[in-house]
Amino acid sequence: MRARINGKAGGRPGGMSRGGASIQDVAREAKVSIATVSRVVNQPTLVTEETASRVREAIKKLGYVPNAYAQGLSGRGGKVLGIVLPDIFGEFYSELLRGADGEARRLGYHLLVSSDAHDHGHPTRNENLAFGLIDGLALMMTEPNVELWRETLDAALPTVVLDAEVNEPGVDSVSVDNTEGTREATEHLLSTTAPDRCFFVGGPKENFDTKARAEVFCATLAAAGRPCTEPQVSCGEYSVDWGRAWGRERQRGAGLKGCAVLAANDEIALGVMQAAQEAGVRVPEDLKIVGFDDTRLATLVRPSLSTVRVPLQEVGAAAVRLLVERVTDSEKPATRMKVGTKLVVRESSRA
């Protein structure tokens, strides 16, 4: 229960905010009606310059800032967008967020961030979402199970889904077109390594991107005349640990030497690299590795990591842009946006 300050708030002239001057105070100070104050703020052309300047002065003097709740309530929307991510930890989400934040800032919106990590996809999420507070929602699903988010998607709230294509009417989406980048990467590996020594180490089996990337990987191998066998594609999770585990396992078996690995993200790639280093297998001389995402990680490790660039900041920014468009124009038809991917060759896969 917040303390309520009745009537005029005393104290410093400038700088009050909450519990500070209201539109009423400004109106009184400038000797006009609250309607006029509101107009000065929102539709300045409707007010005489003389009146307006008097009002502006009063606003300044009292340090008036419109109360966002009241604005929201009276139908203007509070300029807040929600963004829900599986987690907000690590370079991947970090970059996504940064893109979204920048764009939101540019468009005059605020970002309400929420990560799923603490109550993994549990339906209680919906309650947590501050529905009614946010004007739009950018949603990145952990699991491909759209039904988990049924309620959310059905809500009459502008929504854009990140990094997954959904077939919901009226729901925008921004996803990654893995085709080009994956193909490039695979061909790049094939240029130095025999098809049957190429491996794809994926994230979660049901993950949209992992699935897409695995598919293109196999297709490219097939196009090279050597359809990939089952053991050449493995799935796990998007983590260094999984990559390392896969690498050790392989090393114990047929060995990593002479192989090439395309990982479904940079973390996995890094894990594989660590396993190789542990075993004394040199990268890139004995083992080629290509990651995915081109997070900062790729340039931080040695040897630097070849990777497929995904413009994550753009994805975040695009999501926000789409959302704002939809918020301001609810008639806008649903947009399915795709951003391209491209191979970036660094040290870990050099011939």
Residues in contact with DNA, shown as a per-residue x/- string from 119 to 158 under the rule CB under 7 A? -------------x--------------------------
> Cβ 78 to DNA, closest distance in Å?
11
Burial class (CB in 10 A: 0-12, 13-18, 19+), 26: buried
Among 16, 29, 32, 176, binds DNA (CB under 7 A): 32
The entry of DNA, its own copies, none that residue 64 binds, CB within 5 to 8 Å by partner kind: DNA
Residue closer to DNA (CB basis): 30 or 240:
30
Which of DNA, its own copies, none does 78 bind, CB closer than 5 to 8 A by kind? its own copies
| Least Cβ distance, residue 68 to its own copies (angstroms) | 4
Interactions with DNA, residue window 41-60 (CB under 7 A): 41-43, 46-48, 50-52
In the complex, minimum distance from the CB of residue 108 to DNA, in angstroms, rounded to a whole number: 13
- Beta carbon of residue 149, minimum distance to DNA (angstroms, whole number): 22
Q: Which of 8, 60, 76, 296 binds DNA (CB under 7 A)?
A: 76
User: What is the largest distance, in Å, between two alpha-carbon atoms of the chain?
Assistant: 85
Contact positions toward DNA, by CB under 7 A?
Answer: 1, 4, 6, 22-24, 31-36, 38-39, 41-43, 46-48, 50-52, 64-67, 69-71, 73-76, 132
